[in-house]
Amino acid sequence: MDEAKLLDTLVKLGYVKRDEALKAQKEKEKDEDIISALYRMGFLNDTKLLDFYQKYLRQRLWTGSPEDINIPEDIKDKLPEDLLRKHSIAPIKYERGEDGKAQKLHVVMINPFNQAAINELKFKTKIDIVIPYVGTKKTIDAILDKLYAPIDRIVEGMELGEELEIESSQPEIPLEMLAAESGEGPIVKLANFLIAEAVNLGASDIHIEPQEKKLVIRYRVDGVLKIYHEFPVRIKDSLTARYKIMANLDISEKRRPQDGRIRTRFKGKR
């Protein structure tokens, strides 16, 4: 079923109004599939979509639980989280062929007819076969949050930074500079925590090192540079943007080296 037929079916069965369908077709964003556009515009929701799938695509409806998902770590590292979230795709099962080459990835999608997204996933992961099932956005988001912890869960329990005061008057971080999943609060908390922890340890340097799959935080303590934290690499832009604003640097400059200073007070000391 192509996108046009899927949309027409939703209209004929009363899940979407004709004028809503036309508006979604006209205003959907580049590379956005029609189901995602209908969700974004408020014309479709999980209740309607689940009812449609239960009645007309039951054979492809995934009824498992996010807790049942167990994707091998090496395969999870190959799956681009930004692509999965963009197209609302969640991996649920991976099968490796006996020859070690033929691979199958089972996924849940809000739009299993989004062949462009499936092809992009196959191309970026080099996985031969992608088998789509249908599910709601709530289910897909729950699976992705289990596989890729949101930033607020990453910083949960990091309370040390609350004693840190930034003395220089700096503007607030523009929300557009933060990744969608990295809310301003958690990133601010993490940035403060790392400074406060480094001061508490007597560190002379903080090194933020983006690698292919992770963001490594190193402190130099007593002359020795050691790894203290590893975070998902996706937070690097949000974290560096926060520090740039704290240091009054140009957040849009990504090529030239910049010098700045952050004046802080921690536990009553500068």
Q: Which residues pair with 224 in a beta bridge?
A: 221
User: What six digits make up the tokens of 57?
Assistant: 């695509």
With a CB cutoff of 8 Å and minimum separation 6, the contacts of 146 are 66, 67, 69
Residue that is written with structure tokens 């921690």 in the block:
266
Residue 159 has pLDDT above 70, yes or no: no
Which pLDDT score is estimated for 190? Answer: 87
Identify the structural domains of the chain with CATH numbers, from first to last. 3-44 (no CATH), 66-147 (3.30.300.160), 170-247 (3.30.450.90)
Higher pLDDT, 174 or 235: 235
> pLDDT, tens digit, for every residue of 22-37?
999 999 888 899 999 9
SS3 168: coil
**pLDDT tens for each residue of 173-204:** 443 443 333 345 788 888 888 888 888 888 99
Q: Is the pLDDT of residue 162 over 60?
A: no
What is residue 123's predicted lDDT score, i.e. its pLDDT?
A: 93
The two structure tokens encoding residue 137: 């956005």
Q: Is 110's pLDDT higher than 60? A: yes
Q: What is the structure's pLDDT at 217?
A: 93
Range with the lowest mean pLDDT among 68-82, 90-104, 177-191, 209-223?
Answer: 177-191
Q: Does the pLDDT at position 246 exceed 90?
A: no
Q: Examine the pLDDT at 15 and tell me if it is beyond 90.
A: yes
Give the pLDDT band (50/70/90) at residue 47. Answer: very high
**Considering only CA atoms, which of 182, 181, 178, 199 is closest in space to residue 263?**
199
Span 109-121, average pLDDT: 93
Confidence (pLDDT) at 42: 95
> For a pLDDT cut of 70, what percent of the chain falls above it?
84
DSSP letter for 173, please.
Answer: P
Give burial (CB, 10 Å; 0-12/13-18/19+) of 69.
middle
